[in-house]
Amino acid sequence: MSAAEVVVVTGASSGVGASITRKLAASGRTVAAIARSPDALARVASAPGGGRIVPVAVDITDAQAIRRAIDGIERDIGPIATLINNTGVFDLTEFHHQDLAMIDRIIATNLSGTMYCTHAALAHMLPRRQGRIIGVASVAGTRGIPGQATYCASKHGMVGFFEALAQELQPQGILVTTLCPGGIDTPLWSRGDDPAPGSVRYPGDREALIAPEEIAELIEFLLSRPVGTVYKRLVFFPANEWH
202 is catalytic: no
86, 12 Cβ separation under 8 angstroms: yes
DSSP H/E element including 233 = strand 233-236
Which long-range CB contacts under 8 A does 163-168 form with residues at least 24 apart?
A: 163/232, 163/233, 165/118, 165/133, 166/230, 166/232
- Give helix then strand counts, H and E, for the chain: 7, 9
Task: Name the maximum alpha-carbon separation found in the chain.
Answer: 52
Task: Please tell me the distance from the alpha carbon of residue 72 to that of residue 210, in angstroms, as a whole number.
Answer: 34
Strand partners, 30: 6, 52
Strands 52-57, 30-35: pairing kind: parallel
> Please, what sign has the CA dihedral across residues 138, 217, 45, 209?
positive
- Considering 116, 151, 202, 231, which one is annotated as catalytic? 151
146, with CB counted inside 10 A (0-12, 13-18, 19+), is exposed
Q: Which residues are catalytic?
A: 151
